[in-house]
Structures are given as C-alpha cells and as structure tokens.
Structure 1
Amino acid sequence: MYNVLIVDDEIMIKRSLTKLINESPYGFRVNGEAEDGREALRLWEQMKPDLIITDISMPVMDGLELIAEISKREEDKEIVILSGYDDFQYARQAMQYGVMDYVLKPVKQEQLDELLGKTAARLEYKKRTRQERGQRLWECRSVAALLAEHLWMVREPEALEVAADYQQQLLHRGLSVAKCSEQLEDVLAMAEAELIARSGGKLQELPKQRQPVSSADELLLRVRYTIAAFAGQVRLIRSWGQHQAIMKAVQYIGAHYTNERLSLSQAANEAGMSDSYFSRCFKEELGIGFTEYVIKLRMEKAKVLLEEPESKTYEVAHVVGYSDYPHFSKSFKKYFGVAPNDYKRRTTGK
C-alpha cells in the first residue's frame, strides 16, 4: 500500500481526489490532507508519503514553494501537480524540480488511474532498486570483511581465492566485466578501509586504477596486483609492530627477571599478545624461547655477582629470582658447566 498526501485549499477537490485514489486498483491510500504548503510540509515530515498530489495556487505557501522545499530535503520523490489551464505555465516551472506528472482539473478517473499506474511502476522499480542496492552492499561488506581478515593475517593466497571466487560469482550472474570491475573495486575499497583502521592508519591508501578493464583475465590480474600490494604493506606493518611489541616485553623482562613469579603470560600481556602468539613471535625475534631467555638473563647476572669478592652464593640466588638455592645451583651448573660455589672460588679465591 502506498501512502498519499493531498494538498489543496478546496475541500471538494480533496474529497473527490481521496475517493478516486482510494478506489484505484494500484494500491494507493490517502493518509493525509493539507490546505496549504506549510501544513503540507509539516505533514510530509511526519508521514514521508510515497506520493504527493498538490495544487499550485494556495495561500501561505504555494505549490511551487512546497515542491522547492521538499526538493532541498529529498531528491528521490514522487510529486504530481494539480493544474488548471490558467496556471499550466507554473506546472511547467515545477518540472525543473523533477516533477514528472501533472493532472488537469477537473480530475477524471481514467486520467488519474493512468497517472497512478505509472507512479506505482516507478515506486516499485525504486523499491526493487533499493533492495538490490542493499543486498549488493551487504554482499560487498561480507566479502570485504573476509578479504581484510585474510590480508591482516598475511594469508595472501586465501585472500586471492576469495576475490577470484567472488569475481566468478558475479560473471556467472551475467554481469558485464565493467560491472564486475565496479563491484570488485567497492569490495577492495571496503577491505582497504578495514585494513587502514586495523593498522591504526599506518597502511597507505593505494592509488586508484583509472583505466577500464576489457576482459575477466585483465580484471583478475588487477585484483592480484591490489591484493599483493595490500599484503606487502601488512607484512611490513605487522613485522614492525611485532618487533616493537617484543622489544617492549624484553624491557619488561629486564626489569622483572629478579621476580621468581615472572611468567610468559605477564610478558605476553605487556606485549598485547596471546600467550601462544607471543611465544612464537618472541622466538622469531630473539632466536631463543622465553624460558631460555629468562634463564640466560638470570645466569649471566648471577655470574657477574658471583665475581664480586663479598657476595654470597645464596644471596646471589635470591637476587636473580631463585628462592630455592638447590634449584639455582643446578641451573647454574647446567648453564656454565660448573657449580656456583666452585665458580666463585675460581674467580675470587673465596
């Protein structure tokens, strides 16, 4: 059912129009009436009718002023002019605002039915177009989200597969290469926006390709290039970001290795990573695992402290994070091949 707003200062015309419209077979129903343009504008804002039928000559605000105001606020509108022979020139002026139809007074059923039939067809087309546009937007966003996820995780082959599959889907629907290109460009633009957001603005926007493509193979080649460019940037960003995060964790470890309770989870939290991902990245960056690194740090520090003449081995154990001296002694001997007491005697004679 389509809602109609009638605007006319003559009561009999409004009554006649309401009856004719409500009896029309095209699904229109009059749900609002106004006597002048100002009242009509208020009702239009409340109702958002599918169709406005308005007279031109009215008090307070005439039909042309009403049409001009509505045109400022909504481009896609259906307005019909009620025109007498005397104000037909005004009706022609209304066409400048995109008004497509007019009906001469007195209004006849056949004339009105023809007009409503055309209007219903346009409204149905607009509705279908909006639905298709909404479906297309949802589809583009879904593909773009999957594409961005693969690219952010530097899964370039999977990202390319998603784009190639989507291109094939579009072609199988009978879309032209030009239309496929347009839709894929939208998907890539959405994926790019997502990657820029994820990277905190570090990812650089790629220059847009202006040349039209002439074949599906050429389109796929362009998509390959774009995905490779995105993946390359993401690799650099993630590599640098990973390095920064691990260095932050290394600083944290350096400040807390004397705490016996220091754990991988604490260091991972400092780096802003999950435990498993941190463990893998840590080894990639330093060439040694977290536990081995902490032991190395503690042992090297213990070695330096044991070389001091006044140091005591059990105190050194506590300083480097061991409350259990036998555990410290065993770890030291495993690391250096000599017990801490023996090492101290060799280096200090005590």
Structure 2
Amino acid sequence: MWNVMIIDDESIIRKGLKQYVQESHLPFQVSAEARNAEDALALMESIAPHVLFVDINLPEVNGLDLLRLIRCRYGEVVAVIVSGYDTFEYARQALQLHAYDYVLKPVPKSDLKRLLVRLDQHLSGLYPNLSEPPARAAYQETASHREDGSVLMVKVTDYINGHYQDPELTVSKVAALFHMNHTYLSKRMKQELGASFLEYVTELRLSKAKELLDHTMHNIKIGDLAIKVGYTNQYYFSRLFKNRIGMCPLEYKKQSGR
C-alpha cells in the first residue's frame, strides 16, 4: 500500500479526501493527517509517506513553502498541491517544486480517482521492487475494458474526461488533436458511445456538478460550480442543469438532504 499524508487546516477537507481515498479501492492508505507545516514536518520521518496532498493556504507557513522545506530534508516525495487558487503564479511555483499535479478545490470524487490511478502507475515506476497489491491488478483489468468502443474512442474520451473543465473544449479542437474531421468525430462517438460530442460533454459536466453538490464539504456557489465544470455563464449552466436533471442546482442540493 502507498502511504498518504493529507496536509490541510480544514478538518472537513481532510475527512473528505480521506474518505475518497478509502472508497477508491486502490492501493492507498491515509497514514497521517496534519493541520499545518509544523505537524507535517513532525510526522514526515515516522510516517515516511509516498504521497503528500498539500493545501496551499496553510497557517503561518503556506503549502508551497512547506514543500520547499520537505524537498530540502526528504528529497523527491511525490506531492500533489490542492488549492483554492486558480492562479498561474502558484501553478508555476508548484511546477518548479516538481509537484506531481496541481488540483483545484473542490475535487469531484471521480476526478480524484483518476488522479489516484495515475499516481499508482507513477509510484509503481519509482518503486518497481514493491509487490503489486491485488487491488491494483484488479483495477487495471477493469480499466482496460472500461469503454465499449475502439482504441480511438478510448483515447478521445480519456482526453475529454481530463479536460472537461476547459470552457473552450469543442468538437473542432478535439478533432484536430486526433487528426480527423469534426463531423466524423461526432458521428463516430454517436455510433460507438450512443452520444454525440456535445451530448457526451454535457452529460459528463453535469455528472461532475452533481458529484460536487452531493457532498457536504463542497459548499460551492453556483457561479463557481458552473466555472468548475466548464461553463462561463452561470445562468446558462443553471438552465441546462434544470432541463436535464429536472430541477435547478440549489433544488438538487436541498433535495439531496445535504
């Protein structure tokens, strides 16, 4: 199992991330939680985590400065920056510190699972002598058959799933990346997946929005939620959500009892 340390000053975020990791059924265990840099540094030596989930907005010493200290003392531990700030400067600093990824709060559960899959593969390359846990082998076998369709469609949907937050994600853009005509791509998706490009992206984005509304730790404003799932216009997003789900986002959250 890969040991994980979650460093965040909000207990509800730590609890939510820990629950997500546990429910992923991937070979990760949360071995330690820290509220600040001092607690994290005190735990580093005894826990020896493989992965850190580090919030930027920590008290006294922020997450990026903490990562600098950890890099000096403990070398290249794999770190994921978890941030509420979508700013280029923070992302640039995270890259300079060799962070594995920079993810924005709130994180949909399915997105975290995709990240954990990639982390598992990355760690397996770093530590090839560690025996492969049965959970990983089982997941890889399932993942290899996750799409009903051609290898091309698997690649296309993988790209869409990784970029659904981009408001400029269009069929023309994706078609160009895969060197095909945009009309052909949409027809091919309809044939193999039962949904055109627009239908697939819309359903994906709305499912991510529902995930975020389904969890108490995600106290997100509707305007922020719209941006989070790839829509720049809050009112268009709310209207689309109501048309597809049968109620507006706020009604959905209330009905969920959360």
When normalised by structure 1's length, the TM-score is 0.36
When normalised by structure 2's length, the TM-score is 0.48
Higher share of residues assigned helix: 1
Structure with larger RCO (C-alpha < 8 A, sep 6+) = 2
